[in-house]
Structure 1
């Protein structure tokens, strides 16, 4: 399977998935675990012997750039009663990506990271991971403030090793003379600047690029417009935008982005966690009102030990305390989901874990329902709907936060914790507030860059 997956990705820009999880650049163990995880959402085991025939069939088709879910192909084929062969069924299911229907491979799009903290480094990993075909997003440069002696080596080391997300998958070398980091063959220029006005990106051969601002220093249109320098075409903020800056949650409102929009925000990790399931629940049951309580891992803007902080409680030691704080996620819902008229309130408690948070979403629904009905509906949404890349679903009775480190979904519904009583529903939504959010950022960037390719079999609408 591995050589076929790699060849399809390199030569035809085809990404092979199993239930929305990419198999590109994955190890044998990872592929087996991805198949085995299908039992959590599909209710039964999925074997590589079931998906391999579909993968082999893909090599015989004239495929264009696309994402093809062989887990879904296997599941839908099993449910199909027409007596088609695997070859016939596969050709029909991916017809939109073959022959006259296929889209042309597009030129790659330059990407610049402004800031290289937790989110910046994870976004960098994802961009490097997706660079295999050469026709997608190309990480060309990172802009940071100078940090003194051995700055470049230290930044490369932080990219190479991560206490939570593990080792970088591949090789990283440093060229201090040219101020570059070479990651898996991708040459990334490190530009030192204290302000956007100091950089002319065309001097580095960067053109028509998308700049991802990971600093959060500027959140309104006026501030973010500083990035629209020579070589930069669009700016994407990895924090909630203010004023008229669109807040985008991929899967929910990314299709509202205007082609000429140059500045947009990916909102917050918590907004991305709650908006997709909130939309799903509103679509099916109607939501009259809601409250979200996030139990959130501590972040860099808190103090390690008690010390002065401009916020009231964030100055207290993050590893030693639960800290009540505010969240802008509830108010951000209105921007990302304007059709939802229900009032949503929210608050947050920072807790002494380094990553993975949980949002407890308490909803008053428009009609009465049952726990079993809600769980079956959300499970189906996670498998078959346009939100399947945003919403995951687990039935594991012993799941805890660390189990979701590295999840690429915006949120994961915990079936065992879900509570429903008439028209009241309480959903427990896990989310990797670092990596899952970074995946959402990449999806938005892919969409605005024009390199977001269609998925087959097409999800139900």
Structure 2
């Protein structure tokens, strides 16, 4: 059975979902039937075809109202501010991928359901009353057929939670602290301009900028045992894609560097293959651009202090990896029993 998806909001994640679908060759199993985006359709087609981070799209893209044509497939375009007015029932939409970044509540998602969609998947952390928050590879088995409103978490929870789970399963974790070193985002300024967050009034290309993060709360939502046991801070750096995460954890048993890396490497080639990757090559951030994994461990940067304090460097393409997980989670939502 072909799954029918609609995308609401065609920004960085929305466009990368379309690219990921076609580049992975899954379009026989997953069909995007509609995109709702308030921007000009010519711009929609242009930005899908040409991308500064990910290069030129390998598939033909054109626009002929009211359709966006991708590799011979016709995707209907809408420009509707009110999701409840979208024709999801007529299009038999299985899952709406809610990618505007504006909506995050159950009430927001209900508008898509009222319009006829069967399920909704947020591309960002949502309010606590959604049916589930999923980090694919860790807890998608918790999905039930009755779950209609689901969050895919954030790119950073998808990056760090698998690593935490592997370490906790192997050694037990007492507590931890994380620094997210995140690429610039479109809520920042090109040159100094007004913003409610005074740090984000400053030019993104000229500073390392501390920002608020709710990552610790996101970890707790996926792994409740770690309530109040993790803290996190975040900074934005002057690059346009790829994020690094500096993870420090205190373990419940003595370890050494070799043992830690061995556990992570085995997970990458075992039960978390395709989600977690492990490398010891001398790589830099740009080398992880367009990497579909949720997280990549740089084993050369692993450190162990006093046998129980472990520090790791974890990379992710915060756009491409997350876009691939959106597709994975959407499929899992419909397969849930």
Equivalent residues of 1:128, 1:139 under 8 A apart: no
1:323 to 201, 209, 212: 209
SS in 2 for 1:258: coil
Equivalent residues of 2:4, 2:32 under 8 A apart: yes
1:65 aligns with none
> What is the RMSD computed on CA atoms of the aligned residues?
1.5
Cα distance between partner residues in 2 of 1:355 and 1:133: 26
Moved over 4 A (4+): 130-133
Matches within 5 A, 1:16-165: 107-130=1-24, 134=28, 136-145=29-38, 147=39, 151-165=40-54
2:156 aligns with 270
Cα distance between partner residues in 2 of 1:161 and 1:404: 19
2:109 to 207, 212, 224: 224
SS in 2 for 1:232: coil
Equivalent residues of 1:128, 1:186 under 8 A apart: no
Residue 218 (structure 1) shift: 1.7
1:35 aligns with none
Matched, 1:399 2:290: no
For structure 2, which runs of at least 5 residues remain unmatched after alignment?
none
Equivalent residues of 1:294, 1:360 under 8 A apart: yes
Equivalent residues of 2:199, 2:210 under 8 A apart: yes
Distance 1:116 1:208, change over 3 A: closer
SS in 2 for 1:194: coil
Residue 288 (structure 1) shift: 0.3
Q: Based on CA coordinates, which of the two structures has the bigger radius of gyration?
A: 1
1:329-387 deviation per Cα after TM superposition (whole angstroms, max 9, x unaligned): 111111111244560000001000000010000000001100011011111110012x2
Higher helix proportion: 1
Matched, 1:180 2:73: no
2:147 aligns with 261
SS in 2 for 1:426: strand
Cα distance between partner residues in 2 of 1:215 and 1:175: 23
Equivalent residues of 1:234, 1:262 under 8 A apart: yes
Equivalent residues of 2:204, 2:238 under 8 A apart: yes
2:334 aligns with 449
1:431 aligns with 316
Cα distance between partner residues in 1 of 2:124 and 2:289: 20
For structure 1, which runs of at least 5 residues remain unmatched after alignment?
1-106, 452-461
Cα distance between partner residues in 2 of 1:196 and 1:133: 25
2:129 to 212, 221, 244: 244
Residue 412 (structure 1) shift: 0.4
Residue 131 (structure 1) shift: 5.6
SS in 1 for 2:200: coil
Determine which structure has greater relative contact order: mean sequence separation of CA pairs < 8 Å that are 6+ residues apart, divided by chain length: 2
User: Which is further off, 276-285 or 340-349?
Assistant: 340-349
Cα distance between partner residues in 2 of 1:132 and 1:258: 23
Residue 132 (structure 1) shift: 5.5
Residue 138 (structure 1) shift: 0.5
Matches within 5 A, 1:356-367: 356-367=242-253
Cα distance between partner residues in 2 of 1:347 and 1:202: 42
Residue 231 (structure 1) shift: 3.2
Equivalent residues of 1:304, 1:317 under 8 A apart: yes
Cα distance between partner residues in 2 of 1:341 and 1:423: 20
1:167-215 deviation per Cα after TM superposition (whole angstroms, max 9, x unaligned): 1112112212xx1011112110001101112222234xx1142000111
Cα distance between partner residues in 2 of 1:435 and 1:449: 22
2:267 aligns with 381
| TM-score normalised by structure 2 residue count | 0.96
Matched, 1:283 2:172: no
Cα distance between partner residues in 2 of 1:285 and 1:196: 46
Equivalent residues of 1:309, 1:315 under 8 A apart: yes
Equivalent residues of 1:209, 1:232 under 8 A apart: yes
| TM-score normalised by structure 1 residue count | 0.70
Cα distance between partner residues in 2 of 1:389 and 1:118: 22
Matched, 1:294 2:187: no
Matched, 1:344 2:230: yes
Cα distance between partner residues in 1 of 2:332 and 2:263: 27
Residue 439 (structure 1) shift: 1.1
